Amino acid sequence: MPLLFDPLKLGALTLENRIVIAPMCQYSAKDGHATDWHLMHLGTLGLSGAGLVIVEATGVEPEGRISPADLGLWDDATEKTLADTLARVRAQLPAGGHVKYGIQLGHAGRKASTARPWEGNHQVAEADGGWVPYAPSALPFRNEDVAPIALDDAGLARVRTAFADAARRAARIGFDAVELHGAHGYLLHQFLSPLSNARTDQYGGSLENRMRFPLEVYDAVREALPAHIPVIMRVSATDWVDGGWDVEGTIAFSQALKARGCDAMHVSTGGLSPLQKIPVGPGYQVPHAEAVKAATGMTTIAVGLITDPKAAEDILQTGKADAIGIARGILYDPRWPWHAAAELGATMTAAPQYLRCQPSGLRQLFR
């Protein structure tokens, strides 16, 4: 069996294979509530054959959403809607429910109140349904943006509590894993990077201080969850800007998380600054996952234009990562895991309604 289709343990959770569908914002929620789009989207991904599907970045408070159309998990109403959606999706999956569902909890910080990509990605004014964002420091993401409100002690406590409360809601809903969004220039990443954190208190300045709040959030979430639910941290390993967050800081942060029992690192890059210069290409972020794994021994998920099954298998075989995260690629090809299994000579689970679709030369593809 190729490693890509070998089981993977994340704490007490066992994934059927090492294909992870990374969170992808759908910008299709209404006042934080899941809609029929999410039912269709998550159902499609659940039938893909991936081992783990992570639901998109979900705001832990209304002001923490990236856009006004983002999912939220901050009250009983948003919890019920998402619970109903996930239950309806799972009811249609193959017997045994081999795919696992996680959720990414996040806070957009200074990148909040942003229009949907197809509407321009600009900051949404309060008069148009937006809000003034919160951040570590009063430094806007773009020069033309309204400066965010720097979080004071009460604000920090509010956000920590919001993450923990959302984690409890995720556990009640029945999610199998929780991922914290510490990447792509959002709030936890903003605390980590010296480009966005200009604080002079215990949460700014030194690396130890800049890591403090993200680690406090991790601790609050870990404490809020039952022991059997693993916690994953999504990180941007570099800002791709001189003087910004870098791989060395990411390794130190990962080591601190490992000491706290974090179950996996999901390693991405960028997103903090419009000045970033990213050398995009197939597998361009894999070396960062490899560096984290080599330095910490932690379970790592690699992402970044990994679309070729043989390339994905090579990443695992050479020990650069333990799992492969795919996102845009699976929107383009929702049966990517099937095609990967066929190319690599693996077998996998599929819904019985689809079994007769197998090409004549691939009778052993499905089990």
Distance between CA 76 and CA 126 in Å, rounded? 25
Residues with active-site annotation: 186
Distance between CA 193 and CA 172 in Å, rounded? 33
| H/E element, 7 | none
Distance between CA 122 and CA 116 in Å, rounded? 8
**Residue reference for tokens 């208190």:** 201
Q: Compute and round to an integer the Cα radius of gyration of the chain.
A: 20
Beta-carbon neighbour count of residue 1 at 10 Å?
Answer: 12
Q: Where are the alpha helices (DSSP H) in 36-176?
A: 36-46, 76-91, 153-173
Do the bridges between strand 100-106 and strand 13-15 make them parallel or antiparallel, or are there none, so unpaired? unpaired
The answer to whether the CB of 53 falls within 8 A of the CB of 145 is no
Say which residues have a Cβ less than 8 Å from residue 109's Cβ, sequence separation at least 6: 64, 133, 134, 135, 136, 148, 185, 186, 187, 188, 189, 190, 196
Do the bridges between strand 8-10 and strand 13-15 make them parallel or antiparallel, or are there none, so unpaired? antiparallel
What tokens does 34 get? Answer: 């899941």
Distance between CA 158 and CA 101 in Å, rounded? 27
